[in-house]
Amino acid sequence: DLKPENILVDMSDPRLPTKIIDFGFAIQSAQKLHVFCGTPAYMSPEICAKDKYSGQASDVWAIGIMFFTMLFGHQPFKAKTEEELFRKIIKAHFQFPKIQREPYLNEQNSLNLQEFSTKTSNESRQLGPTSSQSPNEAKMKWKFENFGAIENVDEVKAMISQMLHPVEDDRITADGILTKYRGWLEQ
């Protein structure tokens, strides 16, 4: 269940690896899956449509949603009901916002995780609220003023667009992302 709430960063030692938690349904399989699971806002179109799907392609989709949200301050698909959300995700029609505000990135184009993280009892930090917190309680800051901190805005948008491609077989793979966008990801 890839989403910001399941990514932990230990801010006391930046050399320590980022950790992903909540492997409630984790499987390594080349076979298509047919399990309806996940957090609705991060589900891929094929999961929302209750079709068989590739777990890896659905993970790429979820990471694309996280990148979009971290860079633009809101999710690409908004709806009042889960049914409406699923319809929008299945269509996969979204627009990048007009950039008039600064992304929450430092001069090295790295996400300033500490500013929108919540502290947990073991001195780790989560990217999102815990299950008992609302986003307001977690004090996530999603304010942007000028996209100038990112040198290649078009490259970032292209990467996210490929990650959020509605057709699973046409979606960029994790290996493709690392090969094509390694330079931006390492900044």
Question: Per-domain residue ranges for the chain?
Answer: 4-186
| CATH number assigned to the domain covering 4-186 | 1.10.510.10
Q: Per residue in 6-47, pLDDT tens? A: 778 777 876 777 787 766 566 666 778 778 878 999 999 999
Q: Per residue in 51-70, pLDDT tens? A: 998 888 999 999 999 989 88
pTM of the predicted model, to two decimals?
A: 0.69
The set of catalytic residues is 1
Q: What pLDDT is attached to residue 85?
A: 97
Q: Positive or negative, the Cα torsion across 133, 110, 148, 89? A: negative
